[in-house]
Amino acid sequence: MDNLNSLKQLWQTADTESLPGAGEMLRMVKSFRNKKLAKKFTIIGMAFLLAVVLGVGVYFAHPKMLTSYLGAGLMIAACGVLLFTNVRSLKRFYKLDDCSNKEFIAFLEQTRLNQIYFYKNTQVVGLTLASAGLLFYVYELVYNNLFTLILTYGLTLIYVAILVFVVRPRIFKREARKLSDTMQRLKTLSKQIDEL
Amino acid sequence: MEFEEIYLKYSPKIYRVCMGYINDHEQARDLMQETFISVWQNLSTFKNQSHISTWIFRIATNKCLRALEVAKKMPKTELPVNLPAPHEESQHEKLAILYKCIATLEEIDRIIISLVLEDLPQAEIAAIVGLSNGNTRVRIYRIKEKLAFKLKAHGQFE
């Protein structure tokens, strides 16, 4: 192309005057970062707080039955799973940017595998621990009244069933669609990089 | 190098590359901002293993390639070959045609040609995109040919 230099000159004429100034950018950067990470930090904070509340609650309330300790322990373990997964994904979030495009494609593939692993294993373990913990924990509070016992367990089981059979598959379906789009894109990009 | 200094030096370049990739001012601006958010977050951990420009352009190109919403909006079809007779376009119109022609290229090609037009050396482009120097050279040659064809079809640079 003989006109490459003309194209370069034309390229430079793009209007960049309307871009934010350095000071404005710095303000935007700070607020954007906080917004983007707020959700993750909220989940981490809530999981940590719940684990502390459960631990402190059990310590001070001195439950009489083993099921209460077992229930609290299982729920704290579920919080631990939630904490671990989110802190780990936070680390990955920061690692993302400084890699070549080929490394990035490999990273996407790893993310896809991680997400599948999360839905098939980690989430199942977390939900099982939390649900079993809840069922054990409430036993001491309701066991001496048959009506309350049936009502509490009935409602808890319905809640768990909705979570497992309705909410979780819906989220999985939505995430799977996103994954499939990402994979499609990944294949196109890989093809473009290897195509020579 | 301070963040403000980096921003002032590289933001127009990054904006132009993003604009070349996406051909939409608002989204190019968003991608540019996301790039500098990452630069700001990771500046303290940047270890000078590569040039700072390579590092920043790599972040920017990753942001572009990663944007799924962007991908969905990109044109899937080629520009028509038989276009109406050209008239004398303004600089602004010529630039719009250039963006339009780049937008019809494949994703990686859009990134590469934007970096070429930004006057980056081939070795740096290779480091940013993650291809070998030889592959990058061949690739650039092919993209230039494709782009020249598209521009000529649009009545440019005849």
pLDDT value of position A35: 66
Joined tokens for residue A77: 């373990």
Contacts of A25 in chain B (CB under 8 A): 7, 11, 33, 36
More confident residue, B47 or B123: B123
Report the length, in residues, of chain B.
Answer: 158
Q: Vertex B69, ends B67 and B74: CA angle to 5°?
A: 95
**Residue A101 to residue B129, Cβ atoms within 8 A:** yes
Contacts of A96 in chain B (CB under 8 A): 38, 62
Q: Please state, in angstroms and as integers, the Cα–Cα distance from residue B146 to each residue in A196, B48, B153, following that order.
A: 15, 35, 11
Average pLDDT along chain A: 82
Which residue intervals of chain A are DSSP H helices?
A: 4-11, 22-61, 66-95, 101-117, 123-142, 146-162, 168-194
Instruction: With a cut of 90, say whether residue B101 has pLDDT above it.
Output: yes
Is there a domain that residue B36 lies in?
yes
Instruction: With a cut of 80, say whether residue B22 has pLDDT above it.
Output: yes
Contacts of B41 in chain A (CB under 8 A): 33, 94, 97
User: How many structural domains are present in chain B?
Assistant: 1
ipTM: 0.83
Segments forming the whole domain that contains residue B103: 3-153
Q: Which residue type occupies B99? A: Y
**Residue A101 to residue B94, Cβ atoms within 8 A:** no
Contacts of A9 in chain B (CB under 8 A): none
Q: B106-140 pLDDT, tens per residue? A: 888 999 999 999 999 999 999 888 888 999 999 99
Is there a domain that residue B16 lies in?
yes
DSSP state, residue A119: I
pTM of the model: 0.68
Say if B121 is an interface residue toward chain A (CB within 8 Å): no
**Residue B95 to residue A14, Cβ atoms within 8 A:** yes
Is there a domain that residue B158 lies in?
no
Average pLDDT along chain B: 83
Q: A169-191 pLDDT, tens per residue? A: 898 888 778 767 766 776 777 77
CATH number at residue B127: 1.20.140
Is there a domain that residue B141 lies in?
yes
